Amino acid sequence: MFFTYLRRELRRRRKAALVVASGLALGIALVIVVSSVSAGMEQAQGKVLQSLYGLGTDMTVTKAAEPPEEGDAEGGRPRFQFDAKDGGSGEEQSTDRVMVQGFQTLSSSTVTKVGEQQGVAGAVGGLSLNVVKVNGQFTQGEIPPGQGGPGGSQGRVQGGGADFEVNSYTVYGTDVTNLAIGPLTSSTIGKGRTFRSSETDAKVAVVDESYAKEKDLALGDTVTISGTKFEIVGIATPDSGDAAANLYIPLEQAQTLSGSKDKVTTVYVQVTDSQRIDAVKSTIQQNISGTTVTTSADLADTVSGSLSTASSLAANVGKWLSIAVLVAAFLVAGLLTMSAVSRRVREFGTLKALGWKSGRVTRQVVGEAVVNGLAGGVLGIALGLAGAYAVTAVSPTLQAQIGATGGTAGPGGMGGPVRQSASQAIEVALTAPISLTTIGTAVGLAVAGGLIAGAFGGWRASRLRPADALRRVE
């Protein structure tokens, strides 16, 4: 009896039901679009951050900054010395200076300590280096003929000088036994292969694609770093943005070249649960003194540009707009349902005179409102999916400007290898992914809208008396 009457009344009042359902649908569709765009913003920001610290890295640990000691020349400008050579005029001379880049070093034992902390799934160390290569030649000056002075004195020496070229590039010492964490994971090996776990001390290298093109390097070629030759076994292409380094070599080789035995600049950390990142950060800071812990959330604060602006709009303006539209839709649905009940005074009064209890009348009104809400939910989900698909199809391009996070982290953000510039612009395409959670939220809103509208109408229906049917003429 309940469903028969419900079906008949909904069919008889199709227009009113469509108005209520449409109002709810607009609010639900807006929620879906805003939620999907916000999720797309998070994905886009994730791509930007991944280009800096690599896939799978939740935080990095570096040594806390310390003021340089007086007279300490280690952190100063590099010094180059050339030996005088007999008959060396015009002879080419070359020297390399391999320096730890941007950070103070941590003991390799710190990697083990970090890995033992509660909530840490994995930790690997890395050593970021900067290599400055100077090569060129000295030219000896000469005294022009006929300019010798009296008594064998010499005239003024003319010509001569020095012509040197200075090149610098970045090298990253990576732990080849665990390649699932760290900056190299932000690149895809386009040619050749990555490191093997057995190559902990091998003279092999993976080169960034852009650097390989600049220096005309190919698979099988060798590169010389401070007199040591490394064979190129792979060419890496960054997934987005700039590469973490120009060259990647095994960590032990990087430590040997820089004279930093058992030292690392960065510990890359992966946590067991992404919801516990802040707790793990606090644990590491508390148990391992003298370190700075940087999370992806800290790095996200340095992202600016249109991506940051759009993300703020979606998170703030979009959220409050969705709430305002939903509240308005629920109120309108409730008022329309209550108005519809008022127009059915004679009907409900007659039903009560025939023996219907107030609770049965109320349940009938609430049932109709819930069905209207579900219909609005279906329509809203369809509109929301269409809107999200349109955003994904258009894929507007957003720009993210990456800046430094501070003195210790350097331009590389989360303690990773320092980039070649203090900031960089990365373009990412915006998508609007739809998750099951979003669909579930939409269904919940549809039911909630129907219940709220039914509550308004049920309250009005419960106040009707059989005598009211005799006072109303339709």
Q: What is the pLDDT of residues 297-327, one digit of tens each?
A: 676 555 555 455 555 655 565 567 677 777 8
**CA-closest candidate to residue 48, choices 257, 229, 282, 305:** 305
| CA 364 centroid distance within chain | 50
Q: Which two tokens stand for residue 437?
A: 């959670």
The CA distance from 419 to 102, in Å, is 10
Structure tokens at 111: 């990697």
Residue 287: predicted pLDDT: 92
pLDDT of res. 73? 45
Q: What is the pLDDT of residues 407-462, one digit of tens each?
A: 333 334 444 443 333 445 666 677 778 888 888 888 888 888 878 877 777 777 66
370 sits in the region (left: phi over 0; alpha: psi -120 to 50; else beta) called: alpha
* Distance (Å) of CA 363 to CA 13, 203, 356, 375, 459: 17, 79, 11, 18, 11
- pLDDT attached to residue 421: 38
Among 90-104, 201-215, 290-304, 341-355, top mean pLDDT goes to 201-215
What percent of the chain has pLDDT above 70? 65
More confident residue, 52 or 100: 100
Q: Is 127 left (phi over 0), alpha (psi -120 to 50) or beta?
A: beta
* Number of alpha carbons in the 13 Å side-chain half-sphere of residue 272: 9
In 3D, which of 161, 166, 165 has the Cα closest to residue 89?
Answer: 161
Q: Which stretch, 69-83, 130-144, 263-277, has highest mean pLDDT?
A: 263-277
Average pLDDT of the chain, as a whole number? 75
Which carries the bigger pLDDT value, residue 358 or residue 205?
205
What's CA 135's distance to the chain center, in Å?
40
Q: What are phi and psi of 34, to 5 degrees?
A: -65, -40
Query: Which of 387-391, 410-414, 461-465 is predicted least confidently?
Result: 410-414
Give me the DSSP letters along 110-124: HHHHHHTSTTEEEEE
Structure tokens at 223: 């590169």
Percentage of the residues of the chain whose pLDDT score is greater than 90: 21
Q: Which of 350, 371, 353 is nearest to 457 (CA)?
A: 371
pLDDT for residue 221: 94
Cβ–Cβ < 8 Å for 445, 27? yes
Cβ-based neighbours of 344, under 8 Å, separated by 6 or more: none
78-104 average pLDDT score: 65
Given this model, what pLDDT does residue 455 score? 78
Residue whose entry in the numeric block shows the structure tokens 């269409």: 386
pLDDT at 20 over 50: yes
Q: Which residue has the tokens 């290599």?
A: 131
Between CA 397 and CA 269, with CA 312 as vertex, the angle to 5 degrees is 85
Asked whether residue 474 carries a pLDDT value surpassing 60, the answer given is: no
Q: Residue 87: is its pLDDT beyond 70? A: no
All structural domains of the chain with their residue ranges:
2-51+306-471, 94-135+164-291
Return the higher-pLDDT residue of 240 and 330: 330
What does the pLDDT look like over 196-234, one tens digit per residue? Answer: 999 999 999 999 999 999 999 999 999 999 889 999 999
Out of 152-161, 355-364, 376-385, least confident range: 152-161
Angle at 120 between CA 119 and CA 123, to 5 degrees: 175
pLDDT computed for residue 247 by the predictor = 94
Q: Are 377 and 446 in contact (CB under 8 A)?
A: yes
Q: What is the pLDDT of residues 130-152, one digit of tens each?
A: 888 876 666 666 666 666 555 55
Question: What is the pLDDT at residue 418?
Answer: 38
CB 128 within 8 A of CB 102: yes
Per-residue confidence at 398, pLDDT binned at 50, 70, 90? Answer: low
Angle formed by the axes of helices 436-462 and 318-342, nearest 10°: 30
This prediction's pTM: 0.56
For residues 472 and 233, which has the higher predicted lDDT (pLDDT)? 233
